[in-house]
Amino acid sequence: MTTRPKILLLGDSLTQTSFEGWSGKLADVFQRRADVVNRGYSGYNTEFYLHLDTVWNELLVNVQLAVVWFGANDAGLPDLAAHHHVPLERYRENLNTILNRLQVQFKPPRIILITPPPVHHEQRLAHQVQRYGEKATGELERTLEQTRKYALACQRVASEKKLPCLNLFDLMHSEADFGRFFHDGLHFSKKGHEFVANALLRAIQEHFASFAVVPDPYTSQWCNSGSHCESLSSQGPYHDQIDHSDIGKAFPL
């Protein structure tokens, strides 16, 4: 039996919670063509993730594309977010190790890296007050300046490995009122999820064009007989390709 192709997502809470947003959109676009496998772990940095044997020992068959997205936690400030902070050079090393594991396990190793997104300072401080009340420190445990360093490091790793990188930090930060993409300065609002989904789909189109799904021009549906994807065929014939008087013809052995 042929195993349906898989799109593997590795990351932190921005990935774990993404079925409510950007990876839900991904699953919609690739329905019947590929299963989106979400292996995001909230609160994890690259150091934690490399110790996650339940992921690395998993037998994932027919992975055609992997999305690697770490840095939001690694970039926590060492004095105020010691639990999450990973030094910059160690972050680079860990990203390389994660990518090496993927490149060994999956062939061809189609991989897209995503940089950590920007941090919205005002929202982050407001969230702190809302959550902790009088115990709020009024100090940022993550900053734009610190996260930018990790976004640049992610880009450098991608360049060294000759892999595509979606620079979400710059894409979001360059938008007017980029705070609309977040609900607490770090995690995405509905608009943020939409932004990520559209940016990732564009990256797939740019770097792995044969994997881009073209929707039906009349219905805009991603998976009916009018849709098309060069490298990923739909599993099972579409209903309008089945002759109800001779059903077996549409299901060759």
Q: Is 13 considered catalytic here?
A: yes
- Catalytic entry in 13, 174, 231, 245: 13
CA proximity to 33, closest of 4, 62, 1, 64: 4
Both tokens of 91, joined, read: 């972050």
* Rama region for 206: left / alpha / beta (φ>0; ψ in -120 to 50; rest): alpha
C-beta separation of 201 from 209 below 8 A? no
| Helix and strand counts by DSSP (H, E) for the chain | 9, 5
Residue 146 three-state SS: helix
C-beta separation of 102 from 146 below 8 A? no
Other C-beta atoms within 10 Å of 114: how many? 27
Q: In what order do the strands lie in the sheet with 165-166?
A: 35-40, 6-11, 63-69, 111-114, 165-166
Give the position of tokens 């639990």. 83
Residues designated catalytic = 13
